[in-house]
């Protein structure tokens, strides 16, 4: 039987020796792809099914974003728990990972998909260019351009404060640790309740408790605290059973949400759903890490799933532009049912292929060039061909758009 140890600062024998901490946790990589697919279903799943209940259930895939925040806080803390990150170096590495591909897809959305994506005004473009759009309480701004990039606006904020919060988390003893856990959960629960009681308008509540970076930081911080606890010896007993129970709870939650949505114009409030899902997310994460620390093999440790988890970031960024780009020419057309499921799997396969190409041909080379090159001209020389590829893709997309526009215009003119 696994012994559960105190998480931090406890002067007991079981905490006197530091547990082994492998850097590679394959189950966490595998879980990323499932969270990414949940977000894909949330955004485009409606197009591939005619069953109303399924459409309502797919909407709750937005919880995958919160799981990403939780996971991000855990992984960064796990990596840096016993090391001291150089603040500037840490910031530069995170910007090098997030910014170039995000900028490219933002420009792509502005140029190739202006009639589909919400294109904000000048203020919105500047905010998205600097990954600050999630701080502005207008949907046209925070969901503007490549709409999914709002979450990266939150991530940039998390990375900005992470080195300083980590320094505090490392110093926590048992009482301070559990106090911070309770305070964080209290704020996550109480803030939406207070906002409703004060009569804050629904659109502002949506922004405050689903988009606004300081509120979302609570989920990131829970992930940090989990890494601190597990790094000091905490283990989940019977992790397979806990993992299965967490999946069952998420299934029930989505089912209840779908049933509620069938009889109401709007679904369950997002803060309520996310807070109800948080214990399951924590259980999934804790159980997965506990099994990884035991070096137990399973389907989630397979190289294929691990690789899909690695490219899940690119899948998250490219799936919606890809869907919007090819939808006008009928590539994803289906009648729902089994045909819709098959077409969706085809779409997901194409999206994963594009994500893999973006990862290997753009994301990784640009990130490496930014991190390792100290000479701007050398970096520009290395990345010239990636920029050429982006321009080529844009030209191709504009040609498709013009073809679709001309075809629709001709059809309209031919009508009596």
Distance in angstroms (rounded) separating the CA atoms of residues 153 and 366: 20
Distance in angstroms (rounded) separating the CA atoms of residues 1 and 4: 10
Distance in angstroms (rounded) separating the CA atoms of residues 247 and 241: 10
Q: Give me 377's structure tokens.
A: 């001209």
The reported pLDDT for the residue numbered 130 is 86
Comparing CA positions, the residue from 153, 40, 42, 157 lying closest to residue 102 is 153
Give CA 12 to chain center in angstroms.
38
The reported pLDDT for the residue numbered 141 is 87
Give me the residues of the chain with pLDDT under 50, please: 1-19, 376-377, 380-381, 384-385, 394, 405-406, 408-416
Q: How far apart are the first and last CA of the chain?
A: 78
Q: Give me 122's structure tokens.
A: 């000048």
Q: Give me 210's structure tokens.
A: 């689903």
Q: What is the pTM of this model?
A: 0.84
Residue appearing with tokens 């606006």: 153
Count CB neighbours of 143 within 10 A: 20
Count CB neighbours of 267 within 10 A: 18
Count CB neighbours of 333 within 10 A: 11
**Helices and strands of the chain, counted as H and E runs:** 17, 0
Distance in angstroms (rounded) separating the CA atoms of residues 66 and 88: 27
Comparing CA positions, the residue from 281, 298, 306 lying closest to residue 25 is 306
The reported pLDDT for the residue numbered 111 is 76
Distance in angstroms (rounded) separating the CA atoms of residues 225 and 181: 8
The reported pLDDT for the residue numbered 22 is 57
The reported pLDDT for the residue numbered 121 is 73
Sign for the pseudo-dihedral over CA of 316, 317, 320, 322: negative
The reported pLDDT for the residue numbered 86 is 82
Q: What are 316-319's contacts with CB under 8 Å, separation 24+?
A: 316/36, 316/39, 316/68, 316/148, 317/101, 317/102, 317/105, 317/146, 317/148, 317/149, 317/355, 317/358, 318/105, 318/351, 318/354, 318/355, 318/358, 319/39, 319/40, 319/43, 319/44, 319/351, 319/355
Sign for the pseudo-dihedral over CA of 140, 52, 337, 63: positive
278 and 63 Cβ atoms separated by less than 8 Å: no
Count CB neighbours of 126 within 10 A: 13
The reported pLDDT for the residue numbered 2 is 38
């Amino acid at each position: 039987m696994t012994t559960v140890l105190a998480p931090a600062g406890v002067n007991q024998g079981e905490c006197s020796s530091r547990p082994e901490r492998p850097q590679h946790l394959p189950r966490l990589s595998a879980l990323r792809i499932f969270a990414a697919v949940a977000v894909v279903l949330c955004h485009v799943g409606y197009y591939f099914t005619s069953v109303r209940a399924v459409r309502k259930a797919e909407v709750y895939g937005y919880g995958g974003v919160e799981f990403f925040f939780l996971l991000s806080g855990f992984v960064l803390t796990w990596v840096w728990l016993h090391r001291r990150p150089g603040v500037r170096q840490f910031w530069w590495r995170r910007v090098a990972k997030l910014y170039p591909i995000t900028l490219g897809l933002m420009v792509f959305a502005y140029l190739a998909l202006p009639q589909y994506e919400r294109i904000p005004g000048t203020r919105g473009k500047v905010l998205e260019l600097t990954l600050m759009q999630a701080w502005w309480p207008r949907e046209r701004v925070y969901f503007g351009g490549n709409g999914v990039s709002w979450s990266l606006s939150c991530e940039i904020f998390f990375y900005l404060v992470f080195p300083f919060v980590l320094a505090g988390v490392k110093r926590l003893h048992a009482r301070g640790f559990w106090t911070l856990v309770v305070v964080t959960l209290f704020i996550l629960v109480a803030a939406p309740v207070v906002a409703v009681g004060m009569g804050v308008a629904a659109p502002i509540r949506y922004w405050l408790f689903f988009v606004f970076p300081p509120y979302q930081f609570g989920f990131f911080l829970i992930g940090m605290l989990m890494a601190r606890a597990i790094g000091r010896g905490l283990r989940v007993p019977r992790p397979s059973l806990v993992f299965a129970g967490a999946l069952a709870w998420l299934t029930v939650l989505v089912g209840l949400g779908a049933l509620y949505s069938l009889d109401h114009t709007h679904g369950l409030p997002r803060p309520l759903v996310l807070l109800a899902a948080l214990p399951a997310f924590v259980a999934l994460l804790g159980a997965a890490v506990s099994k990884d620390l035991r070096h137990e093999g399973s389907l989630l440790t397979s190289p294929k799933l691990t690789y899909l988890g690695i490219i899940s970031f690119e899948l998250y960024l490219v799936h919606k532009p890809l869907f919007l780009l090819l939808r006008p020419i009928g590539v994803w057309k289906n009648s729902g049912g089994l045909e819709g499921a098959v077409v969706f799997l085809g779409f997901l396969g194409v999206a994963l292929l594009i994500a893999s190409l973006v990862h290997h041909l753009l994301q990784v080379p640009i990130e490496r060039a930014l991190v390792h090159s100290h000479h701007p001209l050398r970096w520009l020389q290395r990345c010239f061909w990636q920029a050429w590829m982006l321009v080529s893709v844009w030209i191709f997309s504009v040609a498709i758009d013009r073809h679709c526009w001309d075809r629709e215009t001709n059809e309209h003119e031919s009508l009596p």
